[in-house]
Structure formats: structure tokens, C-alpha cells
Amino acid sequence: VVVEKQGFRHFMLKEIYEQPGVVRTCLEAYLDQDWHAGQNSETSPIHLNLSPTLTENLENIQILACGTSWHAALVGKYLLEQLVGIPTSVQYASEFRYAPAPITPHTLTIGVTQSGETADTLAALDLEKRRRGNLETKFQPHLLGITNRPESTLGQMVDEVIDTHAGIEIGVAATKTFIAQLIGFYCLSLDLAYQRKTLSEERIEEILDNLRYLPAQIELILESQERYIEELAHDFAETQDFIFVGRGINFPIALEGALKLKEISYIHAEGYPAGEMKHGPIALLDNKVPVVSIAMPGCVYEKVLSNAQEAKARDARLIGVTAMNDTEANDTFDNLLPVPEVEELISPLVTVIPLQLLSYHIAARRGLDVDQPRNLAKSVTVE
């Protein structure tokens, strides 16, 4: 398959713009359009076609991944624990290989990988398969893959796959495959929440409706924000350090925002849970270190704002990813990256977009090879 840039300056920018379509395709593949709460309660509104044995008697989930996929896994953990109540651990595959967690019964192992070929992730899954297969018990070594490459080595290795329908990604820095992995986790969590009745059908329908608005909301961010972010990026041509903070479901997005920036712009960036700033990173702050804070309406909103104030008191330039109609945020932040107001549960799917654009434009402004950053590879097939 020959993939072209279609007028975009870089594949990364093209792939950022493909995200509304990717979300739409993935939702169309899995959501039942005709399902309504209270009407046909025998079937789940989400058709992932996973065998019932994969999720029956499920007590624990462990997720193995690397890089950006590991960040998607952290959002997945939040959803699986908060919506379904299943204790979920997220491990770096490269760490798990040499120090696997003790085997727990009735555990589903999920491997997340855009390439389906990352050596560490494959090796960690293989280890898990072997050690569970060797157990003299009835527990089956259940493995589930979440990937946009169902034909990959991962696809052949696991029992079942959730195909995220993102297609091939060329830019080394993952964008559309990340958002697609997130949609995969929303679908899995809502399907399990339906099966286990941890959420009411009405609540599930409400979340699904909110997911269906997403493609248009992402389009709106791209249309209304890109030019502003491109201009804002000029201010950071000489910046050497960035801090990204978020809490709760947006903590992984702070990690992802920092990773995107360092991957392609070579600026040192750290992602932190906002409440942990006072235990270290705050010592780094002065007027040369911008702080990007994800402050969306929800249970941690006030906390994130007060964490941002702490940074402001150290002269840091504050950039807020906030809801479009949030007037309070104006007083706190020097620059706003507004996104449509969505419920907190959905917010990672919108907050990540301006962060992708910000890192893209900073790197492009610096004249760097955005699609092929130094020392990095799209798929890391060596240990």
C-alpha cells in the first residue's frame, strides 16, 4: 500500500487530521446503532465479538505495552476500574519480561501495540502465555490484543483481537493509532460494564451518545485551533524544558503530551500527575519552564487549577487545555488551548488533540524531521 501525504507537509499532520475519521470508523464497526436502553436488554450495544470465555469469571486484568500504547493502557485501566470495577494493572512490557507480577487467577492479559511487532510486548505476552499454560489449573491463558494491525505477529499470538481500525501510521510519533486504542478501551469497558451491570443501560447509552459526538468535536478543534497553536509554537522555539500536568483520566494525556514533544522536538518534557508537582518538579519551575495543564470540568478540576496556581507563583508560563466555555480558566492561564466541553470520562479523547498539534508545530517550526525523528523507529523489533 502506498500512502501519500495528500497535501500535508508531514505524515504526522495528515494523521492528526485523520483522527475524526478513525474514531468514526471504529465506532461504526463496534456500536449497535439500533440499541436503546431498556429495549433489548439481552444484547450488548457493543459488538466486539469476543468469546464469552475471555471475560467470564474475570477478576483481574493486566495490560502490557510500550511507549504511547502504554499511555493508552493507563486510560484503559482508569475505565476498567472506574466503570467496571475490575482491578487492572499496567506494566511496561520491557519490565514485565524480567520481573513478571505473580500469577493471579481469572486474569485477562491485554497486549496493546500499534505495530503488533514490538519485541518487548511480544516477549512479555509470550512469557505470560507460557507460564499460564504450564499451570496445573483450569485457568486458561487468555490473551487479548488491541491493535490496528490484526495481521501482525501479535495478532497471531493472542486468542482474540480488537482491531482499532486506524490503518497504517507512517509518522513515527503515534497519533491516530493512540486515539484508536483509546476507543478500543472505551468499547471494551462499556461492553464489560453492560455484561456485569456495573452501569445502568441509560448511563451506557449516554456515554455512547457522547462518543458519537466526538468526530465532529475533534474536527472543531482542528479547524478552530490549528492556526493559533502554530503561532503559539513560535514562542517555544528556544524553550528547553516543558512540564505537562493532568490528573485522573487526564494524567496519561499529560504523559502523552510530554512524550510527543520530546520525540519530535527534542525538548526535554516531563508529564506528571498535577498533585505530585509539589514533590519534585516544582523545584524546576521558573519563567523559562512552561507548564501545560489539562484542566477539564470534572472531579479534579478545582485541584488542577490550584496546582496550576502553585506553578504560576513560581513565574512559570501557564498553558491550559480547558473547556471552550470555561471563563474562570482565563484568569489562571496565560494561554488557552480550548476544546469542546465534554464530560470528564470522555475528555482524554479531546484533550490529546491540541497537545499533538502543539508538539507538531514546535518541531516543524524548529525545522526538524517530524516524521523520522532521530534515534527513533516506528516499530522496535529488537529488545
Q: Site residues (CB under 6 A) for ligand G6P?
A: 66-69, 113-115, 118, 121, 172-174, 376-380
Q: CB of 69: closest distance to ligand G6P in angstroms?
A: 4
Q: CB of 207: closest distance to ligand G6P in angstroms?
A: 26
Which DSSP string corresponds to 227-266? HHHHHHHHTTTT--EEEEEE-GGGHHHHHHHHHHHHHHH-
13 vs 319, which CB is nearer to ligand G6P?
A: 13
Q: Whole-angstrom Cα distance, residue 112 to residue 67?
A: 10
CB 242 within 8 A of CB 261: yes
From 129, 303, 312, 378, active-site residue: 378
Q: CB of 379: closest distance to ligand G6P in angstroms?
A: 6
DSSP 346: G
Q: CB of 165: closest distance to ligand G6P in angstroms?
A: 15
Q: CB of 254: closest distance to ligand G6P in angstroms?
A: 16
Q: In what order do the strands lie in the sheet with 318-323?
A: 268-273, 241-246, 291-295, 318-323, 335-339
Q: Whole-angstrom Cα distance, residue 237 to residue 181?
A: 31
Three-state SS letters, 266-327: CCEEEEEEHHHHHHCHHHHCCCCCCEEEEECCCCCHHHHHHHHHHHHCCCCCEEEEEECCCC
Active site residue 378: yes
Q: Residue 111 half-sphere exposure, CB side, CA atoms within 13 Å? A: 39
Residue 79: helix, strand or coil by DSSP? helix
Which DSSP string corresponds to 182-226? HHHHHHHHHHHHHHHTSS-HHHHHHHHHHHHHHHHHHHHHHHHHH
Q: CB of 64: closest distance to ligand G6P in angstroms?
A: 10
111 vs 246, which CB is nearer to ligand G6P?
A: 111
210 vs 379, which CB is nearer to ligand G6P?
A: 379
113 vs 239, which CB is nearer to ligand G6P?
A: 113
CB 325 within 8 A of CB 341: yes
114 vs 332, which CB is nearer to ligand G6P?
A: 114
19 vs 121, which CB is nearer to ligand G6P?
A: 121
Q: Looking at the annotation, which residues are catalytic?
A: 378
